[in-house]
Amino acid sequence: QQQVKQSPQSLIVQKGGISIINCAYENTAFDYFPWYQQFPGKGPALLIAIRPDVSEKKEGRFTISFNKSAKQFSLHIMDSQPGDSATYFCAATSNTGFQKLVFGTGTRLLVSP
Amino acid sequence: SAVISQKPSRDICQRGTSLTIQCQVDSQVTMMFWYRQQPGQSLTLIATANQGSEATYESGFVIDKFPISRPNLTFSTLTVSNMSPEDSSIYLCSVVKAKNEQFFGPGTRLTVL
């Protein structure tokens, strides 16, 4: 019940295309859903996050879509750029879980020039 | 956000030895965590570093193997004891700031021979 399932494992997108990464959870106590971007040799960087009271959040080219009834959320990267090539992790946590993050398995994104 | 530094950034150690990793934050934080990221894998929470009391360990992690200190609200150490090649991983500290946002340090890349 603590798992967060992430797909796809890897993704290749052409420059200018839309990258879509999906995550699903089971624990209904989760109330905060961040996405992290990690480049090789670096720590994960917080990209964007959403709470269940909204269905969508947009920051620049990055959008989170959230479906509370389906217990799913996704990251959309519009106009994908080669510089977006990285590994992306979804995560979930709750105040009742003492803010401990449960991570998805990661998606390795490659944006081809 | 938060400025987090870790020392060392990487190390190569011999089997049976111990390594202490330091994590320094630029401001006082209540919640601080230690994660492990095995090569090509996702992040797994090791423990919550509690200021002034013993760390809270996740299932599969024990204090004898991963002793943690948290002497104040800006600093913590994680020791990897009696190392084996299976301990080769990236070790990351993280802190929670306002609005549940969690930020990660750059990581310590450990190789055990």
pLDDT at A6: 97
pLDDT averages per 10-residue partition of chain A, 113 residues: 90 98 94 95 95 94 96 98 98 82 96 95
pLDDT tens by residue, B64-104? 999 999 999 999 999 999 999 999 999 999 999 877 889 99
pLDDT tens by residue, A64-76? 999 999 999 999 9
pLDDT at A63: 97
pLDDT at A1: 60
**Chain A stretch 16-35, residues whose beta carbon is closer than 8 A to a beta carbon of chain B:** 32, 34
Question: Which stretches does DSSP call E strand in chain A?
Answer: 4-7, 10-14, 19-25, 33-38, 45-50, 56-59, 62-67, 72-77, 86-92, 102-103, 107-112
pLDDT at B98: 79
CB-based contact, A103 to chain B, within 8 Å: yes
pLDDT at B61: 97
* For residues B16-34, average pLDDT: 95
Nearest residue of A to residue B93, measured between CA atoms = A43
In whole numbers, what is the pLDDT of chain B averaged over residues? 95
The CA distance from A55 to A93, in Å, is: 17
Q: Are residues B43 and A95, on separate chains, in Cβ contact within 8 Å?
A: no
The CA distance from A104 to A90, in Å, is: 5
pLDDT at A97: 65
User: To the nearest whole percent, how much of chain B has pLDDT over 70?
Assistant: 100
End-to-end CA distance of chain A: 39
Q: How far is A73 from chain B (nearest CA, A)?
A: 18
